[in-house]
């Protein structure tokens, strides 16, 4: 027997309708490319988004068409986003930080018909457009006077000209909730980037799942600074969850340095912000150096890579800000676990709670997790045994755009995250490595992440990376690469001595090499692929301190 409740498709346009109707006067604030802080409201942004929809239809765009954005977080970007998805087209968020070859590849792979971009991205457009024949039209968000782009035959318009004269009345939705809404490629640290195709339903459910007090805990009383770029998995879903509750939105544009973020936080009295650890490190350094304070910020969500303990402590002790760590990936929409204490952990002294904040956290409702060995057998959730982290649920990818990568689910329907993790008895998940980075030595796994985190604690280290190098006896052994702080010199033995006693003897790196630079990928993570290409073939020259 079916329930007798109204059958309404969960399409994302409803969230923006809701924000405009019931939180219409709530502001959306952004720092424009010229540095000026501009403002709109949910009601005005909604009207603009409808104009965008009409302009897209007038330009011949149809349901299912991929329309790209190449832009930093701003009010017009948000309007265009809802304008695109409202009429059933797919918003493909391009990351301007990728190389032009990669961006061109993605626009071609997605078959983008249009690109809406920041004027600052013109040099990128000039390079990619000749290689993207499917792109018919370009709209520049912040250009009053758009000129033709060399080598591009299509139309180039300013955003103002694109929407000029368009009606603010347009029927949104009216399609099935499983309709695709967004396309976001993973950064591709392995092989070519692959497209994750979100549906209206999956993003709607993700917004609901992540709003609760044990996750982002957003409300109509919050002013949210969206530091995470909108091209990173919908800014961790906040593009949907903030309008859903009518939170005031502050969008920082391209300036993510400590001083700019701090100025915006204070001027707009931000209460909540999300971002990767690097951004918070820059902010905290700025505050330390200038002696400035955070007067309104209450909570910060950190994710994308492991959150260093110093960030948790400094926010808490110097500014009274609670740091919450989240874990996820583009394929998981992205938020899947959050490090919020349960009843038992909340009762522990504050110092002991930090130990749990350093873990990636507990699973959101509606999802399922398991750990397996390489043969797919389930492993215990004892907080000690590392295994491949597998995940399942309505906000998890079932495959990639264009069938890339083939079938990605195991026979129980779980998606392999490529992460290696432990799960403790409280349900706290802790990432110990990425599967492709874990070092397999004599049948046992060595966590490259643990070694890096420890080694970087050496006072002379600026950055450390650990990769596995093929070894005739043990399959692989760890190589520690160290970028020293400016002006210091060190002996490899100093690092081995430092690690001695902090790790199991068989984890000891077989060699320590000092390097001038450790390459980072476009999302600020250590580019192990590049390191493996450079150092994967080294023959160890130093005997390990203890093997």
Residues marked as catalytic: 186, 331, 440, 445
Calpha distance 181→83 (Å, rounded):
11
The residue from 330, 422, 432, 447 that contacts ligand ADP (CB under 6 A) is 330
Determine, following the binding rule CB under 6 A, whether residue 386 of this chain makes contact with ligand ADP: no
Element (H, E) at 17: helix 13-22
Quickly tell me which residue has 């984890």 as its tokens. 507
Interaction pattern, residues 85-124, with ligand ADP; x per rule: CB under 6 A = ----------------------------------------
The residue from 54, 189, 223, 333 that contacts ligand ADP (CB under 6 A) is 189
Query: Which residues pair with residue 138 across a beta bridge?
Result: 115, 156
Tokens of 414: 């779980």
Which residues within the stretch 360-379 sit at the binding site for ligand ADP (CB under 6 A)?
360
Measured from the CB of residue 359, what is the shortest distance to ligand ADP in angstroms?
9
- State the pairing for strand pair 444-446/439-441: antiparallel
Which segments of 80-167 are extended strands (E)?
90-94, 114-117, 137-140, 155-158
Q: Which is nearer to ligand ADP, 166 or 339 (CB)?
A: 339
Determine, following the binding rule CB under 6 A, whether residue 528 of this chain makes contact with ligand ADP: no
- Burial environment of residue 326 by CB neighbours within 10 A (0 to 12, 13 to 18, 19 or more): buried
The residue from 79, 112, 419, 510 that contacts ligand ADP (CB under 6 A) is 419
Determine, following the binding rule CB under 6 A, whether residue 523 of this chain makes contact with ligand ADP: yes
109-127 per-residue burial string, b: 16 or more CB within 10 A, e: under 16: bbbbbbbbbbbbbbebbee
The region of 33-41, 65-73, 300-308, 493-501 touching ligand ADP under the rule CB under 6 A is 300-308
The residue from 303, 341, 387, 468 that contacts ligand ADP (CB under 6 A) is 303
Q: Which is nearer to ligand ADP, 170 or 306 (CB)?
A: 306
Determine, following the binding rule CB under 6 A, whether residue 387 of this chain makes contact with ligand ADP: no
Name the phi and psi angles at 189, rounded to 5.
Answer: -70, -15
The residue from 300, 306, 369, 420 that contacts ligand ADP (CB under 6 A) is 306
The region of 33-41, 146-154, 221-229, 416-424 touching ligand ADP under the rule CB under 6 A is 416-424
Calpha distance 314→331 (Å, rounded):
31
Q: DSSP characters for 438-488? A: -EEETTEEE-HHHHHHHHTTSTTEEEEEEEEEEETTTEEEEEEEEEEPTT-
Determine, following the binding rule CB under 6 A, whether residue 333 of this chain makes contact with ligand ADP: no
Determine, following the binding rule CB under 6 A, whether residue 431 of this chain makes contact with ligand ADP: yes
Measured from the CB of residue 38, what is the shortest distance to ligand ADP in angstroms?
29
Q: Residues 6 or more apart from 352 whose CB is under 8 A from it?
A: none
Determine, following the binding rule CB under 6 A, whether residue 448 of this chain makes contact with ligand ADP: no
Measured from the CB of residue 456, what is the shortest distance to ligand ADP in angstroms?
15
The residue from 206, 434, 528, 529 that contacts ligand ADP (CB under 6 A) is 434
CA 320 to chain centre: 25
Q: Which is nearer to ligand ADP, 29 or 300 (CB)?
A: 300
Tokens of 150: 């060399």
Name the phi and psi angles at 198, rounded to 5.
Answer: -75, 150
- The four Cα atoms 226, 144, 87, 402 give a dihedral, to 10 degrees, of -70
Determine, following the binding rule CB under 6 A, whether residue 155 of this chain makes contact with ligand ADP: no
Number of residues that bind ligand ADP (CB under 6 A): 20
Determine, following the binding rule CB under 6 A, whether residue 325 of this chain makes contact with ligand ADP: yes
What residues make contact with ligand ADP under the rule CB under 6 A?
A: 186-189, 303-306, 325, 327, 329-330, 334, 360, 417-419, 431, 434, 523
């Amino acid at each position: 027997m079916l329930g007798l409740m109204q059958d309404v498709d969960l399409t994302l346009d409803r969230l923006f309708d809701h924000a405009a109707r019931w939180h219409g006067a709530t502001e959306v604030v952004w720092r424009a490319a010229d540095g000026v802080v501009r403002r709109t409201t949910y009601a005005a942004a909604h009207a603009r988004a409808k104009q965008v929809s009409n302009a897209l239809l007038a330009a011949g765009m149809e349901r299912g068409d991929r329309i790209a954005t190449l832009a930093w977080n701003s009010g017009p970007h948000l309007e265009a986003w809802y304008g695109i998805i409202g009429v059933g087209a797919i918003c493909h968020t391009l990351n301007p930080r990728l190389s032009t070859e990669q961006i061109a590849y993605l626009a071609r792979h997605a078959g983008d018909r249009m690109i809406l971009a920041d004027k600052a991205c013109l040099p990128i457009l000039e390079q990619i457009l000749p290689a993207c024949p499917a792109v018919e039209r370009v709209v520049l968000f912040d250009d009053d006077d758009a000129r033709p782009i060399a080598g591009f035959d299509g139309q180039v318009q300013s955003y103002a000209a694109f929407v000029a004269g368009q009606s603010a009345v347009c029927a949104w939705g009216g399609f099935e909730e499983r309709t695709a809404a967004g396309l976001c490629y993973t950064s591709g640290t392995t092989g070519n980037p692959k497209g994750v195709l979100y549906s209206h339903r999956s993003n709607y459910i993700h917004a609901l799942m992540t709003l609760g007090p044990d996750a982002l805990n957003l409300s109509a009383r919050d002013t949210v600074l969206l530091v995470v770029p909108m091209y990173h998995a919908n800014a961790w879903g906040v593009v949907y969850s903030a309008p859903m509750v009518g939170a005031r939105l502050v969008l920082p544009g391209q300036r993510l340095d400590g001083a700019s973020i701090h100025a915006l936080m204070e001027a707009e009295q931000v209460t909540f912000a999300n971002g990767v650890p690097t951004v918070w490190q820059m902010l905290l350094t700025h505050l330390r150096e200038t002696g400035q304070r955070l007067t309104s910020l209450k909570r910060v969500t950190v994710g994308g890579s492991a959150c260093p303990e110093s960030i948790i402590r400094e926010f808490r002790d110097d500014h009274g800000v609670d740091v919450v760590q989240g874990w996820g990936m583009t394929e998981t929409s992205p938020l899947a676990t959050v490090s919020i204490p349960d009843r038992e952990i909340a009762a522990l002294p504050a110092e002991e709670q930090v130990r749990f904040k350093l873990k990636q956290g507990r699973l959101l409702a509606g999802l399922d997790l398991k750990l397996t060995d390489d043969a797919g057998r389930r492993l215990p959730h004892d907080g000690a045994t590392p295994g491949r982290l597998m995940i399942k649920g309505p906000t998890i990818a079932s495959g990639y755009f264009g069938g890339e990568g083939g079938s990605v689910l195991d026979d129980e329907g779980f998606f392999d995250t490529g992460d290696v993790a432990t799960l403790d008895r409280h349900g706290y998940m802790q990432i110990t490595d990425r599967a492709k980075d874990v070092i397999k030595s004599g049948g046992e796994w060595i966590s490259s992440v643990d070694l890096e985190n420890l080694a970087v604690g050496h006072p002379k280290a600026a950055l450390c990376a650990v990769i596995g190098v093929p070894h005739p006896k043990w399959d692989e052994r760890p190589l520690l690469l160290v970028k020293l702080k400016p002006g210091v010199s060190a002996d490899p033995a100093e690092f081995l001595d430092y690690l001695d006693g902090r790790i199991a003897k068989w984890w000891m790196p077989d060699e320590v090499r000092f390097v001038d630079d450790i390459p980072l990928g476009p999302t600020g993570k250590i580019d192990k692929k590049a390191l493996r290409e450079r150092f994967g073939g080294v023959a160890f020259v130093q005997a390990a301190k203890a093997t």
